[in-house]
Structure 1
Amino acid sequence: MKQRIDTAPASREATIANVLTIAGSDPSGGAGIQADLKTFSALGTYGTSVITALTAQNTQGVKGVFPVPADFIAIQLKTLLEDVPITAVKIGMVASREVAETIRDVLAKSPPRWIVLDPVMVAKSGDTLVDEKGIRAVREILVPLSDLITPNLPEASMLLDKPTPTSRRDMEALSADLTGLGAANVLLKGGHLHDEGCPDLLIQETSFRWLEGPRIETRNLHGTGCSLSSAIAACLAKGQDVPDAVETAKQWLGEALKASHRLSVGSGQGPVHHFHAWW
């Protein structure tokens, strides 16, 4: 029997959780803050956003990146947090050490219950989005700040400066190294494996477990990492623990991928259908 994913909005009597995305902007709407805000809404939370970079991109690739100055990112964050209580934060694209330090310093003064980091370094098109200094900033500043990080295999390789895993055994072998970076929980995404399914490895302290999922044949993969990490943040904000939030988010994303053929957005790698349960 197909498991039902509860994406219905909260009742009017309930308080809807506020969730924040700190990430880059994607004009095509499939990734970045646009995908994050859609995800938050689809999963019954209220989305807010702070923009770290403007990008010129579409479903075929990234043509340019314009970083937002760190001092203006600080103003965005401080102004928002002075007024809006935030339960969970998703951090996406961060291109410099100064921006990473700004995010850390502001959040330290108004700490949310949950911080989920999607270490965005390479776009689905293969375009590199951050340089070596940016990678070090993510590794040294943002990973220790986070309750959960969600690297895919190339991103894990860049964080650890090790070869990209090519098997489940390779993924398991990275468990201690990844948690050693400072995050309490790691979701190592196995979508890049040449595997019939799409296995992800949830690593918690000294234990890990596999989360299985079908490999969905579609080219509409733009923004899947952004959407998954945002879905996890939304589920955490609604009260789920880490394993349940990851499983719910993974199931939701699977349905969004299956329904992506209903959208017609660009001629490259299109987006997932965030509102598959609604329209």
Structure 2
Amino acid sequence: MEIVRILMIVSVLFLLTACDSGSTSMALGSLERQRIALTATTNEVVVSLPVAQGSQVTQGTVLVQLDDTLQKANVAKALADVAQATANYEKLLKGAREEEIAAARAKVSGAKATLQESEANYRRIASMAKDNLASKADLDRALATRDSGVANLDSAQEQLRELVAGSREEDIRFALANLDATEAVLAGEQKKLADLTIRATRDGILDNLPWNLGERVTQGSPLAVVLAGKAPFARVYVPEPYRVKVSVGDALLVHVDGVDQPIEGKVSWIANEPAFSPYYALNQEERARLMYLAEVQLPDSAAQLPSGVPAQVEMP
């Protein structure tokens, strides 16, 4: 009988403990902030670290400066290429200068005068050849000189027409495409130059500067880590029985170690999939052990709370 009485007492205590633990169910976790890692886009030397670790920073604050000597030279060359392409494009748009057209007209006039002289000389030699006063060789030379004058006149007239007509449409399009290409290269080089100045992309706390002054960084490595946002959020694991009771936007009480009063926060995100074993592989009792990762954002009044502190969120 004594053994039966002891077993009954143990059973009652077990039930009381289970009921008590169920009435004070908590989602356990810790305070966190979003970690923004700013990485290096090239291998360069750190020349300046203007902000100390742990400082509050705002968007646009310079955190790390890499050596930009070589990249500034690349930008200068790209600027020169753009200037050259712009000048060529504008030259084709404007066409020939008045002085060039005037010179071409003068050349045409000179070719006409030369042709008139060679034509008169040819007729004179031809008349003399009929009277056997000029040889056939003289006649051939006079004819060749006249034909050369005709060709020179045609060439001068074609050059004048080309200058008056202006640049070909195809040449203008080619020059414009070349200008666009050089401007695109310039934009890329300027972007590379800007990337050598590491700036904060969001307000927050400068958590870490992995590289020291004077070190040559490796491409793709983090140069600065910023904990974004004013107040932290509680990243907790919601037990499976409470998953259907928790939705984005719900107000929940958050208990933080070292803070006497609970802080009201709002659920900003909750996972749709459990963090551990898939539910379809478990029975009803085992499914109750599943956990769903959730984030509960604290108000701005809790901005002074550090990250990494344990926190518990009361379940509804």
- TM-score interval for Structure 1 and Structure 2 normalised by the shorter chain: under 0.3
TM-score, scaled to structure 1: 0.18
| Structure with higher strand content | 2
Which has the larger share of helix? Answer: 2
- Higher RCO (C-alpha under 8 Å, 6+ residues apart): 2
Question: Which of these two proteins has the greater Rg computed from alpha carbons?
Answer: 2
